[in-house]
Each structure stands twice: as structure tokens, then as C-alpha cells.
Amino acid sequence: MRERDEMAARFAREYLDGLCRVIAMVDEHRIAELVFELQRAYDEDRQIFIIGNGGSAGTASHMACDLAKTVLGRKPDKSRRRFRVLSMTDNVPLITALANDLGYEHIFTEQLILYARESDLLMVITGSGNSPNIVKAVKLARKMGLRTAGLLGFDGGKVMSMLDAVVLIPDFSYGYVEDMHVVMDHLITSYFSLQFNRSLRERQESVCK
């Protein structure tokens, strides 16, 4: 049992060391560009759509929740305008209907046709960047006049050159890539939470003067 515990401990340390290595390779200026796209969407009151498959679908839902609520803090300022954000991975009846009738590669494009408008923002979360439904969604978004951004992995795949802003996790391990996509979500959430709360404090201080 002790030998097994030691093996698990060594594996854990190796995994965490590998994750630290991947963190060090991420370009913080690319993160800033992605933050700018989200800030633009907020400032212009545009709709943000987030998409992904598998684990990335979970991250899409997580990020939509964080941008919609977590950035506002535990007791949201009801006077503050919110991020208009929607995860296109959450409507299971619609997704399964589209996949069943039209094919899985159309589950996001058909939702964009339903909901998206020019200058909205499509945010893709994908490890490979090559999933047909992601590629089709980005192509349609560009044709419709949306801005596009992404959290990618591996070498960026087909969609990398098609996006206006990209944060690439340059590793070929799905585990590390998906770990880092969640880290990026929390980093971005923390940034906007700080901006929102600072603005609230400034308004409160001006009232007290």
C-alpha cells in the first residue's frame, strides 16, 4: 500500500510540474487581446455565444455562468448592466433535435442563425480546433459579421487563423489543455470582477463625499 501511495504521489507531482510548464508557455498578451474582445462586447451591449464539445462544452457552460453572475460578486449591484452571454451547449432538447435531423456538425450553426446578430461575439473552446461543428460555426459567424475568439489547444487547428483573438495552450495533452481553459475562464472572471467591484467602490465613495 505504501509503494502504491508513493507511485500516486510521484505521478501527482509530475502532472503538476507539467501543468506549471504549460502555464509558463501561455502568452499573456494573447489573453489581453481576448479580454479586449469581451470588453468590447460588453461596452457595445453585444451578445456573447460560447461553444465547445465534450469537456469543452462543460467549460463553455462554466464560463457563461461566470461571466453572467460570478463577475458581479455575491451581492450583485442591480443597477449594473450585465454581460449578455449564452452557452450554446446547454439546450439539450434543441441540440439533440438538430443533431438528429440535420447532423451533429450543425448544432451550433443553426443556433447562430436563430440568435446571432452582426457584431455579436462567438467564443469557441476547443482542444484540437478541428471539430467540424466548431469550424462550421466560425465560418458562419464570420459570414454573419460576428467577432470571433477562442481558447484553443495543440497547434490551434483549422480555426486558429479564422479567429480575431486567440489564447493558445501549446500542448498536445487534452488534460493540460482543458485544465488551462478553465484557468483562463477564472483569470478572465477575476479580471472583470475586479473592474466591476472597483467601479462600484468608486461610485460609493463619490456618493459619500
Instruction: Compute CA 81 distance to the chain's CA centroid, rounded to the nearest angstrom.
Output: 20
Domain membership flag for residue 109 = yes
For residues 153 and 179, give the distance between their C-alpha atoms in angstroms, rounded to a whole number: 11
What pLDDT does residue 190 have?
A: 95
Domain membership flag for residue 5 = no
Q: Give Cα separations from 5 to 2, 11, 122 (angstroms).
A: 5, 10, 45
What pLDDT does residue 200 have?
A: 52
The residue behind cell 462550421 is 136
pLDDT in tens, 125-174: 999 999 999 999 999 999 999 999 999 999 999 999 999 999 999 999 99
Return the closest-CA partner of residue 121 out of 61, 44, 58, 194. 44
The DSSP bridge partners found for residue 124 are 51, 150
Domain membership flag for residue 14 = no
Whether residue 177 is predicted with pLDDT greater than 90 in this model: the reply is yes
What pLDDT does residue 202 have?
A: 55
Whether residue 188 is predicted with pLDDT greater than 70 in this model: the reply is yes
Structural domain harbouring 178: 27-208
Domain membership flag for residue 124 = yes
Cα torsion through 186, 192, 194, 195, rounded to 10: 170
User: Could you tell me the CATH number of the domain that includes residue 152?
Assistant: 3.40.50.10490
For residues 67 and 86, give the distance between their C-alpha atoms in angstroms, rounded to a whole number: 9
Domain membership flag for residue 22 = no
> How many structural domains does the chain have?
1
Domain membership flag for residue 20 = no
pLDDT in tens, 26-61: 999 999 999 999 999 999 999 999 999 999 999 999
Of residues 208 and 131, more confidently modeled: 131
In the chain, pLDDT over 70 holds for what percent of residues?
94
Return the closest-CA partner of residue 134 out of 167, 165, 155, 112. 112
Domain membership flag for residue 6 = no
For residues 151 and 159, give the distance between their C-alpha atoms in angstroms, rounded to a whole number: 11
* Per-residue confidence band for 201, with pLDDT thresholds at 50, 70 and 90: low
Domain membership flag for residue 195 = yes
Q: Which helix (H) or strand (E) holds 122?
A: strand 121-125
- Rounded to 5 degrees, φ, ψ at 176 are -65, -40
Cα torsion through 172, 14, 167, 94, rounded to 10: 70
